[in-house]
Amino acid sequence: MEGYPDLFPDTEDSRLIKIEKNGDIIHYSRTKAPWPVSDRDGTYRSHFSSEGNTSTVRLETVSGLVDEKEGVVRILDSEAIWTLKELGNKQIELVYEVYANPNGSIPAWLVNSAAISLPFETLVNMKDLVLERSEQAAFKKILRGICT
């Protein structure tokens, strides 16, 4: 899960659980939440597909693979889709769609703030990764960070 904290803000812990025969990756992630809200964690399946110059990563929650931790709220229902398309001329089109039910009690102001700030910070992190490496190497690291 080397690239995961580089992309996703407030990642407290992330680790590989297993790689399935079809290539899907199962990983665990814990996100630090500000006081007085409890941290959130979940286990996710990442499925990678590619056709032509377009690559897609789909993440969805899976349950029953990692024991719940005291004081941490388990996310049971979420899905994210990353679609990256190489446009040429050093341009990449990115579509990032996320749905998540954070479970438990969270103040509305925090949910609303996170709904805006977390995707934005993730995309800024992605841009920084692209700028610090060559286009192809960055593209591969981005996909590796999302998938692993």
Q: 61-99: per-residue pLDDT in tens?
A: 999 899 999 999 999 999 999 898 989 887 888 888 888
Return the number of other C-beta atoms located less than 10 Å from residue 138's C-beta. Answer: 18
Q: pLDDT value at position 74?
A: 96
Q: pLDDT value at position 148?
A: 52
The encoded tokens of residue 62 equal 């899976």
Q: pLDDT value at position 20?
A: 95
Tell whether the model's pLDDT for residue 2 goes beyond 70. no
The encoded tokens of residue 37 equal 């809200």
The encoded tokens of residue 148 equal 């692993």
Tell me which residue of 98, 132, 41, 99 sits closest to 141, measured CA to CA. 132
Q: Rounded to two decimals, what is the model's pTM?
A: 0.77
63 dihedral zone (left: phi>0; alpha: psi -120 to 50; beta): beta
Higher-pLDDT residue of 31, 107: 31
Q: pLDDT value at position 113?
A: 74
Distance CA 10, CA 39 (A): 10
DSSP 68-90: --TT-EEP-EEEEEEEEEEEETT
**Domains identified in the chain and CATH numbers:** 4-147 (3.30.530.20)
Q: 16-62: per-residue pLDDT in tens?
A: 999 999 999 999 999 898 888 899 999 999 999 999 999 999 999 99
Distance CA 25, CA 2 (A): 14
Q: pLDDT value at position 83?
A: 92
Peptide bond into 34 cis (omega under 30): no
Tell whether the model's pLDDT for residue 1 goes beyond 70. no
Tell whether the model's pLDDT for residue 130 goes beyond 70. no
CA dihedral 142, 145, 52, 130 (to 10 degrees): 0
Burial string for 68-97 (b: 16+ CB within 10 Å, else e) reads eeeebbbbeebebebebebeeeeebeeeee
Query: 142 falls in which pLDDT band (50, 70, 90)?
Result: low
